[in-house]
Structures are given as structure tokens and as C-alpha cells.
């Protein structure tokens, strides 16, 4: 059994491998302050074989932040943003990255292709599989393959609806036709040269829900009755599920993904479903079973763990748990639960995730998707490690590990009061880089240069530069789209009517100045920007967050806009055309400047999409619905 080697091993004087129970541990030592210090390193990752995992206890992490997560309202990401996230997912050690739905739009295709190429020739110990979604039709599968084939490890993920109601109304096909379609399309994907094909029965895993009347009074007709929803599982559904899964295995599928599409099952039920599939599907031992759990009842993490315990060896998750409605199982919760409890309570299961990159991934996805996580979000919320309960003050400092099941360091978050690095206006680039690393941001090159010059400007005006100031700055500097328009200056006055004057510089160097009145300084400034940029948009959301240590701290603004002549993509499950929305953020010590930066960035993102589309055949940007 070949194994990839931890990256850190290269700099370790004496790597040693331990083995405890079933889990191989790879430990690496770094020199710190003249003496060796142990560095937590991921467990040995078994060799990647599409339909088989050499170690039966290893669980593959399939991240679908870029596909399912990006489907959240307003979470549209640019190609650059997707590539940034893909790189961070690779750092995390994710096994499979679902990079998008290439048939959705040209922009989606381009992003998947770029990510696939990114991982074509990487000289790394771990290269993630790059996966593209496709409906069960030739065109989708061809587009998906054309996008992912450049990757070192490409995968096509195809799906079809299998519940009776979907087959009848959405597909207008008989069950036999659905099986035939699934079988032939999986075989077609294999025939293109793709050796790694995942298949999802879109809704068969989620049980077949029906409304039945609990109370038998029907005098007013069904519409007026108080009905009680009850899920029933018809045996025929299960038998059909085993049948279609068995057929796609024969056709060459390597992973079978079982979604809980409506987030309705309880952990015991979902575990049983996976166990039943494992027990009853012909040929199941030749493939990997996967879970994909929605969070509508807040049970996605528990369902995912129950699925893994019952035999699934791939789990589909998203960073921060983003996704449509209540989102998906979140990577950080599932991974940390397996890390903390795998050995004792989950039969020795483990993953290949380097958890120290979780915080950076979480922050990046929060910035790019515009989906803010709540302060009490498990693992990555702002309060997750804020212990108001001061056990420490009770003479129990030595035992604090007893109370923290996960230490901040485990997920890449250093406590600032323990870090020892304090930045001031004399601090250099190296100190800034070290500090950002402590905060979970691993940045370098031009991004670091730009951040450093912004940092110097702020340090000149503000005595204490807090961690939050730095986070705001890095978000403004690092998490930005390519520039079409750049804000040069904004002045405003609000004695009587609010007025604002803005100066914008186009990428071609032209300067544009305009002014407008409005109901407030931000409104006036936005109207002035509109006079220059001349793109009709609707402002969907606007929010501004100041941070600690007084109102003179840096304020971060986030806006969400939608273009009126829209940027269209196709929704994976419905085939519906979706009008994309774009999120932009900006940061400044002045809230008006911060607000205008955010607006200009959102416009840049939208213009980036529009300009790209314009250079190609306009018909290409519309997807033909074939099924």
C-alpha cells in the first residue's frame, strides 16, 4: 500500500511513524527555540484508488462548497475566488473538490477547468480529485469531462431523480427508463476516459414524503384540513434504489452518493439507510458509499456521522455548512467530530484533513460567499472559544484541557494574548506575515506587499492595531475581484441635503468624477458611482461592521447587488435559469469610503462576468436543456 507523505516531512530532521491501534500516526519534528517541538500532522493518507480505499477506517472528505455551497442565494463567486478556495481546500487536505457544475454556464465551466488545470502538475504530496457535476445527459457529461479532464485526478459526478413523484412529473419517464438512462450515462462517462465516476440518486435517499391525514374530518376539502406530515418509506422505493445502484455499479460507477435532500431524516434512520444499501445492493463492495446531508432540521452533522459509522467512506460537506435553505453538513463540524471522537466512538474512523487550515478556509468562504456565520456557530463561530466561564481563575489552569475539547490552535487560531507578536508602526513585513499566519491567514507575494502598504497607512493613524483591524484589512486586500473600476477618492457633506463626490479610475487609466445628492452620504455616493459606471443594478443587501476598540477602528462593508440585464446560470437540480447576485466588501476607517469600496468591488465582480461573456458567442452563455 503506497502512501502519500506529509509535506512537513521534508523539513523534519527525523520523521518517525508510530502505530497505535489501527491508526498510523506520522509525527514530524520542527526545531523551535533551539529544541525540537512536535508538530501535529495529518495521519497517513491511503493511496487514492477511485473505487477502493486500502485502509477501511479512512473517510474521504468531499467538499462541495464551490458547487452546492455556491448555489446559496447571493453566494456567487468569481473564477479567481473559486480558485483561491480550491487552493485552500487542497491545503486543508480535502480528498475531493467538487469545483462546480460546468454545464451551468460558461463562467462555471471556466472555473472548473481552471481549477482542474491548477491541480494538473502540482508537485505536492497530496493532490485532490477535481470533480464536476453533470445531469444524466450526454451534453452535461461531455462538458463536465471537458472541464475536469485536465486534473491529475478527474471525476465526473452525475445524478438523476429517482423518487416516484420526480420521475413522473419532472422527468416524465418510467422507472425502467430512469434506470436505463442512469446506466447508459455512467457508462458514457467511463467511455470518455473518466475512470472515476460518482452517481447520486437525487432524492431516493431522502425517503418518499407524503401527506396523510391524521384527523379524519374532511368536510372542508383537503386544502382546508389540518394535515399532519408523515414520511412513509415504501418498500418498493428501497428495492428500486438497490436496483438502480446495482445497475450503475455494473456500468462503472466508483462512488455512490446517498443524499438526504430535504434534511428530514434522523441519525438512526439515515444510518440504517446506509446499512441497508450496504447490505442489499448487488456489487456494493466494489464501490465507495457517500453521504450528502442537508441541514433543515439541524441534524446534518449527526446524520453524516451516522452514515459514516454505518459504512459510508465519503462524506459530502461544505465549509461553514453553507448551501441552499439551511445548508449542508459543515466540513469543520464533521471533521472535528471524527478527529475528537473517531477513535473512541466511531470505530476508529479518521480523515486526512489538516485541521489547522480550517479557520482560514472558514474566513475565506465567509468573505467570498457573503454568508456570515453566527457567533455561536460550532467550531468556527466568533464565540466558539470565548470562554466567559472563567474556570481558569479557579486555580485550575493546569487542567484547562479538560474543558476545551478542541483547542483554538487545533483549527489554526492562535489566542492573541498568547501569540507574543504585537504590531506597531515600526513593524516589518516579516512580523506582519507572522501575525497574519497566527490569525489563520497564510498570505504571501503581491498580496502581502499590498497588505503591508495598507497596514503602514493605518499604523500611521491609529495607535493600537487590533487583530480585528488586521482581519478587516486582509479581507479588503486579499479577498477582492479583479479591478475594472478603482475608487480614488470620495468626499461628502450632509449639512442640509447629503451630497457626495466620487473619483473613479478605470482599468484603462481614465479618471471619472461625478457628484450626486441622496438621502444620506452613502446613498449620495452610490448614486455618484452609478453616474460613472452606468450599469443598472439592484442593491439587494448592505451591511457594515465596525470592530473592537472604538468607532475609529476599521469598518467593513458588504453589499450584494444583482444586475438588471442579468448574468444567467442553470440550476443543477431544477434546470431553472438563475439570475446571479454579486457580493462585494470594502474596509476603511471612514464608513463612507468603506461603503463605496464595497459597492465598486461588487460592480467589478459583476462587470468581470459580463465582460467575459461578451467576448464569446452570446448563445454559448445560455445552456440548452436536454435530458
- In the region spanning residues 375 to 394, those forming contacts with a copy of itself, defined by CB under 8 A, are 375-379, 381, 383-391, 393-394
> Rule CB under 8 A: is residue 341 a binding residue for a copy of itself?
yes
Q: Give the nearest distance from C-beta 578 to a copy of itself in angstroms.
A: 6
Q: Give the nearest distance from C-beta 319 to a copy of itself in angstroms.
A: 12
Q: Give the nearest distance from C-beta 252 to a copy of itself in angstroms.
A: 29
Asked if 141 and 109 touch (Cβ cutoff 8 Å), the reply is no
Closer CB to a copy of itself, residue 334 or residue 451? 334
> Cβ atoms within 10 A of the Cβ of 221, count?
7
Q: What is the DSSP letter of 168?
A: I
Sign of the Cα pseudo-torsion (546, 550, 551, 553, in order): negative
Q: Which stretch binds a copy of itself (CB under 8 A): 96-104, 127-135, 193-201, 368-376?
A: 368-376
Angle at which helix 429-438 crosses helix 445-461, to 10 degrees, equals: 100
Q: How far apart are CA 595 and CA 94, in angstroms?
A: 35
Among 333, 367, 438, 476, interactor with a copy of itself by CB under 8 A = 333
> Rule CB under 8 A: is residue 409 a binding residue for a copy of itself?
no
Among 123, 235, 401, 536, interactor with a copy of itself by CB under 8 A = 401
Residues in 461-480 at the binding interface with a copy of itself, rule: CB under 8 A: 461
Q: How far apart are CA 184 and CA 181, in angstroms?
A: 5
Give CA separation, 577 vs 109, 326, 370, in Å: 16, 21, 21
Closer CB to a copy of itself, residue 388 or residue 617? 388
Question: Within 152-234, where are the H helices?
Answer: 164-166, 175-191
Among 173, 549, 610, 613, interactor with a copy of itself by CB under 8 A = 549
Angle at which helix 79-92 crosses helix 106-118, to 10 degrees, equals: 40
Among 195, 276, 409, 523, interactor with a copy of itself by CB under 8 A = 523
Among 170, 250, 425, 506, interactor with a copy of itself by CB under 8 A = 170
Asked if 185 and 137 touch (Cβ cutoff 8 Å), the reply is yes
Q: How far apart are CA 280 and CA 58, in angstroms?
A: 23
Listed residue (350, 452, 340) closest to 60, CA to CA? 350
Q: How far apart are CA 380 and CA 410, in angstroms?
A: 11
Q: Which stretch binds a copy of itself (CB under 8 A): 150-158, 353-361, 431-439, 570-578?
A: 570-578
Block residue for cell numbers 512537513: 8
For the chain, the residue count is 627
Per-residue x/- track, 417-456, a copy of itself (CB under 8 A): ----------------------------------------
Q: Which stretch binds a copy of itself (CB under 8 A): 98-106, 130-138, 403-411, 440-448?
A: 403-411
Q: Give the nearest distance from C-beta 73 to a copy of itself in angstroms.
A: 5
Block residue for cell numbers 487542567: 399
> Rule CB under 8 A: is residue 458 a binding residue for a copy of itself?
no
Q: How far apart are CA 288 and CA 285, in angstroms?
A: 8
> Rule CB under 8 A: is residue 545 a binding residue for a copy of itself?
yes
Per-residue x/- track, 257-296, a copy of itself (CB under 8 A): -----xxx-xxxx-------------------------xx
Q: How far apart are CA 196 and CA 115, in angstroms?
A: 17
Question: Within 416-497, where are the H helices?
Answer: 416-419, 429-438, 445-461, 467-478
Closer CB to a copy of itself, residue 149 or residue 377? 377
Q: Give the nearest distance from C-beta 546 to a copy of itself in angstroms.
A: 3
Closer CB to a copy of itself, residue 68 or residue 198? 68
The H or E element containing residue 498 is strand 498-506
Instruction: Give the total of residues touching a copy of itself (CB under 8 A).
Output: 139
Residues in 192-231 at the binding interface with a copy of itself, rule: CB under 8 A: 209-211, 214-217, 220, 224-226, 228-231
Q: Which stretch binds a copy of itself (CB under 8 A): 91-99, 280-288, 573-581, 603-611?
A: 573-581
> Cβ atoms within 10 A of the Cβ of 618, count?
8
Closer CB to a copy of itself, residue 142 or residue 343? 343
Q: Which three cell numbers stand for residue 589?
A: 476607517
> Rule CB under 8 A: is residue 235 a binding residue for a copy of itself?
no
Listed residue (612, 564, 562, 566) closest to 584, CA to CA? 562
Q: How far apart are CA 455 and CA 451, in angstroms?
A: 6
Among 173, 535, 544, 627, interactor with a copy of itself by CB under 8 A = 544
Q: How far apart are CA 70 and CA 208, in angstroms?
A: 27
> Rule CB under 8 A: is residue 9 a binding residue for a copy of itself?
no
Per-residue x/- track, 483-522, a copy of itself (CB under 8 A): --------xxxxx--x-------------------xxxxx
Residues in 66-85 at the binding interface with a copy of itself, rule: CB under 8 A: 71-73
Amino acid at each position: 500500500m503506497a502512501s502519500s507523505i506529509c509535506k512537513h516531512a521534508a523539513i523534519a530532521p527525523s520523521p518517525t511513524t508510530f502505530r497505535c491501534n489501527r491508526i498510523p500516526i506520522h509525527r514530524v519534528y520542527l526545531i523551535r527555540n533551539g529544541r525540537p517541538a512536535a508538530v501535529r500532522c495529518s495521519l497517513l493518507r491511503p493511496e487514492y484508488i477511485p473505487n477502493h480505499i486500502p485502509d477501511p477506517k479512512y473517510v474521504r472528505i468531499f467538499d462541495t462548497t464551490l458547487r452546492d455551497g455556491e448555489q446559496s442565494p447571493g453566494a456567487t463567486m468569481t473564477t479567481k475566488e473559486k480558485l483561491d478556495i480550491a487552493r485552500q481546500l487542497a491545503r486543508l487536505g480535502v480528498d475531493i473538490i467538487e469545483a462546480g457544475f460546468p454545464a451551468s454556464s460558461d463562467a462555471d465551466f471556466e472555473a472548473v477547468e481552471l481549477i482542474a488545470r491548477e491541480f494538473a502538475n502540482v508537485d505536492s504530496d497530496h493532490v485532490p480529485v477535481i470533480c464536476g457535476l453533470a445531469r444524466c445527459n450526454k451534453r452535461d457529461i461531455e462538458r463536465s469531462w471537458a472541464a475536469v479532464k485536465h486534473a491529475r485526478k478527474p471525476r465526473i459526478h452525475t445524478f438523476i431523480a429517482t423518487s416516484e413523484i420526480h420521475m413522473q412529473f419532472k422527468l416524465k419517464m418510467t422507472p425502467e427508463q430512469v434506470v436505463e438512462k442512469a446506466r447508459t450515462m455512467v457508462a458514457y462517462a467511463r467511455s470518455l476516459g473518466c475512470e472515476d465516476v460518482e452517481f447520486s440518486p437525487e432524492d431516493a435517499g431522502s425517503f418518499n414524503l407524503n401527506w396523510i391525514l391524521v384527523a379524519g374530518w374532511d368536510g372542508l376539502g383537503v386544502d382546508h384540513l389540518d394535515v399532519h406530515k408523515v414520511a412513509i418509506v415504501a418498500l418498493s422505493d428501497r428495492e428500486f434504489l438497490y436496483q438502480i445502484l446495482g445497475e450503475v455499479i455494473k456500468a462503472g460507477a466508483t462512488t455512490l452518493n446517498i443524499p438526504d435532500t430535504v434534511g428530514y431524516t434522523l441519525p438512526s434512520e439515515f444510518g440504517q439507510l446506509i446499512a441497508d444499501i450496504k447490505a442489499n445492493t448487488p456489487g456494493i463492495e466494489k464501490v465507495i458509499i457517500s453521504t450528502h446531508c442537508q441541514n433543515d432540521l439541524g441534524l446534518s452533522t449527526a446524520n453524516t456521522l451516522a452514515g459514516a459509522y454505518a459504512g459510508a467512506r465519503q462524506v459530502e460537506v461544505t465549509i461553514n455548512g453553507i448551501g441552499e435553505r439551511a445548508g449542508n453538513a459543515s466540513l469543520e463540524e464533521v471533521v472535528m467530530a471524527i478527529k475528537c471522537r473517531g477513535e473512541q466512538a466511531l470505530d476508529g474512523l479518521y480523515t486526512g484533513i489538516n485541521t489547522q487550515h480550517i479557520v482560514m478556509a472558514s474566513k475565506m468562504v465567509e468573505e467570498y460567499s457573503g454568508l456570515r456565520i453566527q457567533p455561536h456557530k460550532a467550531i468556527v463561530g466568533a464565540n466558539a472559544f470565548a470562554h466567559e466561564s472563567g474556570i481558569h481563575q479557579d486555580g485550575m489552569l493546569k487542567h484547562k484541557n479538560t474543558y476545551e475539547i478542541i483547542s483554538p490552535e487545533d483549527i489554526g487560531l492562535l489566542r492573541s494574548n498568547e501569540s507574543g507578536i504585537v504590531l506597531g508602526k515600526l513593524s516589518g513585513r516579516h512580523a506582519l506575515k507572522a501575525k497574519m499566519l497566527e490569525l489563520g491567514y497564510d498570505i504571501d507575494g503581491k498580496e502581502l506587499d499590498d497588505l503591508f502598504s495598507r497596514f503602514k497607512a493605518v499604523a500611521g493613524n491609529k495607535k493600537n492595531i487590533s487583530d480585528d483591524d488586521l482581519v478587516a484589512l486582509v479581507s479588503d486586500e486579499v479577498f477582492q475581484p479583479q479591478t475594472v473600476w478603482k475608487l480614488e477618492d470620495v468626499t461628502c457633506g450632509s449639512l442640509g441635503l447629503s451630497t457626495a463626490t466620487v473619483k473613479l479610475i478605470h482599468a484603462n487609466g481614465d479618471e471619472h468624477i461625478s457628484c450626486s445628492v441622496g438621502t444620506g452620504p452613502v446613498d449620495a455616493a452610490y448614486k455618484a458611482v452609478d453616474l460613472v459606471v452606468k450599469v443598472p443594478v439592484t442593491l439587494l443587501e448592505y451591511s457594515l461592521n465596525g470592530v473592537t476598540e472604538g468607532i475609529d477602528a476599521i469598518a467593513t462593508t458588504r453589499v450584494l447587488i444583482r444586475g438588471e440585464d442579468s448574468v444567467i446560470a442553470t440550476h443543477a437540480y431544477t434546470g431553472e435559469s438563475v439570475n446571479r447576485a454579486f457580493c462585494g466588501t470594502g474596509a476603511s476607517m471612514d464608513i463612507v469610503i468603506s461603503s463605496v469600496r464595497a459597492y465598486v468591488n461588487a460592480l467589478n465582480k459583476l462587470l468581470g462576468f459580463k465582460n467575459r461573456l461578451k467576448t464569446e458567442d452570446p448563445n454559448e452563455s445560455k445552456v440548452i436543456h436536454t435530458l
